[in-house]
Amino acid sequence: MHQISLKDAFEGKDSRMISEKQRLLTFESWPFTTGPCVKEKMAKAGFYRCDERSDAVRCFCCFKELDQWSHNDEPWDEHIKHSKNCFFAQLQKEEQHLTVDEVKNVLIEREINRNAKLCENELNTVKSQPTNQLLKSLWD
């Protein structure tokens, strides 16, 4: 499995993760093989594994990252609990049950979320720069 960094996700390099089938492929060595937290349910709930060295997953739509999963965690419930505004999680529908309009709206929300995260990251970068460096960059 190829690791997909948050930077890759923000740059759209995770676009194949829109597909449940592609998300499922990222759970190659997922530690849970029974119970509600199995790889099939994780993929159905919109998650893909973003780091094979841990149980960290990311939603393809809202980009929320979750880790420290337990055997009894229910992926849809955890998704809603930690990302109440995720459009895909609010639908609580598997990919094959989505209407064309719902798919369109999921993709629109994904782009809105991606752009919001990009802006948030850029703002954090600017905020972390020393004031004199910021002022210098304005006048150069």
**Can you give the pLDDT at residue 129?**
72
**Can you give the pLDDT at residue 97?**
93
Place of tokens 């337990």: 70
Place of tokens 């997953």: 57
**Can you give the pLDDT at residue 59?**
95
Bridge partners, residue 66, by sequence: 57
**Can you give the pLDDT at residue 8?**
67
- List helix spans (H) across 45-130: 75-82, 87-91, 100-128
| Nearest alpha-carbon partner for 88 in 49, 50, 48, 35 | 48
Residue ranges covered by each domain of the chain: 6-129
**Can you give the pLDDT at residue 140?**
61
Low-confidence ranges of the chain (pLDDT < 70): 1-13, 132-140
**Can you give the pLDDT at residue 120?**
83
Q: What is the pLDDT of residues 116-134, one digit of tens each?
A: 888 887 787 777 777 766 5
Tell which phi-psi region holds residue 21, choosing left (phi > 0), alpha (psi between -120 and 50) or beta: alpha
Domain 6-129 has CATH 1.10.1170.10: yes
Place of tokens 């369109």: 104
| Nearest alpha-carbon partner for 111 in 14, 28, 35 | 14
Q: What is the pLDDT of residues 10-27, one digit of tens each?
A: 566 678 899 999 999 999
14 Cβ contact partners less than 8 Å away, ≥ 6 residues apart: 4, 8, 48, 58, 60
**Can you give the pLDDT at residue 44?**
96
Q: How far apart are CA 48 and CA 136, in angstroms?
A: 41
